[in-house]
Amino acid sequence: MPPRLKFPTTRPFSTARNLASPLAVAEYADLLRSTLKLAAAEKHQKLEIPKKIAIAVSGGIDSMALAHLSSGLKNSDSVFSSTEFVAMIVDHNLRPDSAEEADKVEGMMEKLGIQSHRINLNLTPEYIKRSKSKIESLARKLRYKSFAMSCKEHKISHILTGHHGNDQAETLLMRLVKESGHKGLQGMTRVAKMPECEDVYGADKLSVLRPFLGVLKHRLKETLVKDNITWFEDPTNADPKMTVRNSIRALLTSPKSNEYLPESLSPRSLIALTERLAAQQAKLNDEIDWFLSRCYLRHIRASGVIQAVIPSPLLRFPVEFIGRVLARFAEVISPMDRIDMTQMIRVAQKVVGTTNPKNKEMRGYGGNTQRLVTALTENNVYWESVHCGPFMDQPDGVMLVCYRQPYSRDSKKSTLETDLDINEQNKWVSWDGRFWLRYKGDKDEAFWKRIIREKSRRVFITGTRKEVMLNLESQPVQFLWPTVKKDFGGLKKRLKLDAPGKSRTVLPVLCEESAKPATDSRFPYIVHGFPTFGVGGGLMGDWEWEPKKYLTVKGKVIGDTLVMGKQGEMVSI
């Protein structure tokens, strides 16, 4: 039986909703453990208490409460008695006294017995003045990137932030003002990936933990007052004209807010709303897993292609739900950070419409066989669905192929180019929001030799646009395969197999622009090879790569091998 598309109305997570007492160490230990357990569950792993946990410490009430209570865990009988906590202290350099304040916070951490790591962002007065309107978001990006780099340096996989219930209420109202969708109105989550770190390799493996998300700020303040712990107040947080969040905070914390705000807009009610929406999303994720575990799936990671066969009985589900299912694919393929659900519903309508015999888009597909075919581009993803007959032991259905939207093959400006830096030869490079690529050979080998000898102007990674293929067809390279050499014809066969349709136009390709001007405008640069396919000429060198996102169903990572749903589980064919 398929799951009922009905969501629960409550989710009793907030432990402090009706409590006004200070937060005890034992209660904090329970909050931290449950948050770590949730982080492990999201990665389909068992809970293991980390040996090291970082704490983002600014010196404010929330972060000082985190540090103080974490320090108390050392002398408790909790599972965290052997865990080492490391304070990450950031000096944003936004105020004249920020350096002195950071010094004091370091001293406070020393008194608590917590090791500190100081991070100076060095935002110059000129930079601050020039970027005043965006300074909050810019500081946030730099802060999180610094956290990611520090965590990697200290081999830490979890960092605690002091976001509390009042922050959650403010976030919900901010997103309401911005007309966010269902997912945005869930507010912050207790566990999240490190934000603002799309170009920091390994940051996606770090977990941001928010154990105070269900705790109101006044409890944290009372905890510090009771134990005589000092903190700093940032005066910029009190200026309602500085940011939208400050304005909303002033609205919610005004002494007369109880008089003009209904109970539904109180922090407790807003927190309860985010929890109910988060419970609905968790239920929806389970239902999407149920749906996909009854399909045939393949994720060709080298080309970023997802192939799926959806049996026709599943296409009777509401089109809005099918749109949510297909959004799972878009999140993996698209270079975009956010997926527009309105666009996904359009895709779902097209996919379901593929089975309609009255479909005017019927055309030949696969030789002389007639198939009902629909194709469209939404969310920077190209979608093509084909009505197919019975497949293995499944009834008829729709075969769906989707991949990153093709670039305009004739336009250099529309195709992403990422230059490689000779001073960072073995650095992981983020390309198109879809791949991590790294040259792992010696710096005086392969194409680097030409740069050192000034025979090359630059080496870069780009997409497989028209001039790339023209170059290969006119000036074939002897590509090095695992065991034998094959020519361009062999490469085309490989592309046909693992890069179907126009997906071959969005593959990462290593190219070189020669120091000498090109004599033929059709061939502006030299093509060295395809790093994700491990195919290239002698100057390509040795590369390794990873997809930035993986397709998972019920905890199973879908890969190059076709898998099928069997009794609700994913089985390789």
Question: What mean pLDDT comes out for the span 39-67?
Answer: 95
- pLDDT, position 564: 77
- pLDDT, position 1: 44
- pLDDT, position 373: 79
Contact between 477 and 572 under an 8 Å Cβ cutoff? The reply is no
**pLDDT at position 204 over 50:** yes
Lowest mean pLDDT segment, chosen from 325-334, 406-415, 522-531: 406-415
Taking the C-alpha atoms of residue 308 and residue 299, their distance in angstroms, rounded to an integer, is 9
Lowest mean pLDDT segment, chosen from 55-69, 137-151, 248-262: 248-262
**pLDDT at position 6 over 60:** no
Taking the C-alpha atoms of residue 322 and residue 434, their distance in angstroms, rounded to an integer, is 24
**pLDDT at position 260 over 90:** no
- pLDDT, position 274: 94
DSSP result, 65-94: HHHHHHHHHTTSSSTTTTPEEEEEEEE---
- pLDDT, position 14: 47
Question: What mean pLDDT comes out for the span 368-379?
Answer: 77
**pLDDT at position 308 over 70:** yes
What is the overall mean pLDDT for the chain?
A: 85
pLDDT in tens, 478-499: 444 433 344 566 777 788 889 9
Torsion of CA 320, 324, 329, 334, to 10 degrees: 90
Taking the C-alpha atoms of residue 129 and residue 135, their distance in angstroms, rounded to an integer, is 9
Lowest mean pLDDT segment, chosen from 26-30, 111-115, 210-214, 502-506: 502-506
Higher local confidence (pLDDT), 333 or 241: 333
The side-by-side arrangement of strands in the sheet containing 397-404 is: 362-364, 370-378, 381-388, 397-404, 305-311, 296-300, 563-566, 569-572
**pLDDT at position 17 over 50:** no
Question: What mean pLDDT comes out for the span 525-546?
Answer: 88
- pLDDT, position 255: 83
- pLDDT, position 566: 65
DSSP result, 91-120: E---STTHHHHHHHHHHHHHHTT-EEEEEE
Task: Retrieve residue 497's tokens.
Answer: 């197999």
- pLDDT, position 534: 86
- pLDDT, position 475: 59
Percent above pLDDT 90 for the chain? 55
Lowest mean pLDDT segment, chosen from 99-103, 352-356, 376-380, 436-440: 352-356
Question: What mean pLDDT comes out for the span 174-191?
Answer: 90
| Most confident of the ranges 28-37, 411-420, 512-521 | 28-37
Three-class DSSP labels, 164-208: CHHHHHHHHHHHHHCCCCCCHHHCCCCEEECCCCCCCCCHHHCEE
- pLDDT, position 243: 82
Lowest mean pLDDT segment, chosen from 87-91, 445-449, 469-473: 469-473
**pLDDT at position 387 over 50:** yes
Domains of the chain by start residue, with CATH:
25-280 (3.40.50.620), 293-405+559-572 (no CATH), 418-541 (no CATH)
Higher local confidence (pLDDT), 477 or 176: 176
**pLDDT at position 10 over 70:** no
The residue among 327, 362, 359 whose CA lies nearest residue 342 is 327
Taking the C-alpha atoms of residue 382 and residue 471, their distance in angstroms, rounded to an integer, is 25
| Most confident of the ranges 429-443, 445-459, 556-570 | 429-443
- pLDDT, position 374: 84
| Most confident of the ranges 112-126, 205-219, 397-411, 490-504 | 205-219
Does the pTM surpass 0.85? The reply is: yes
The residue among 145, 95, 138 whose CA lies nearest residue 119 is 145
Question: What mean pLDDT comes out for the span 315-342?
Answer: 95
- pLDDT, position 258: 79
Place of tokens 């067809």: 473
pLDDT band at 13; cut points 50, 70, 90 = very low
- pLDDT, position 210: 98
**pLDDT at position 367 over 60:** no
* 320-323: Cβ within 8 A, 24+ apart: 320/345, 320/348, 321/5, 321/287, 321/291, 322/348, 322/351, 322/352, 323/347, 323/348
Helix (H), strand (E) counts: the chain: 15, 26
| Most confident of the ranges 122-136, 267-281, 378-392, 516-530 | 267-281
- pLDDT, position 485: 41
Higher local confidence (pLDDT), 14 or 528: 528
Percent above pLDDT 70 for the chain? 84
Taking the C-alpha atoms of residue 86 and residue 366, their distance in angstroms, rounded to an integer, is 60
pLDDT band at 18; cut points 50, 70, 90 = very low
Taking the C-alpha atoms of residue 418 and residue 461, their distance in angstroms, rounded to an integer, is 5
Question: What mean pLDDT comes out for the span 195-208?
Answer: 94
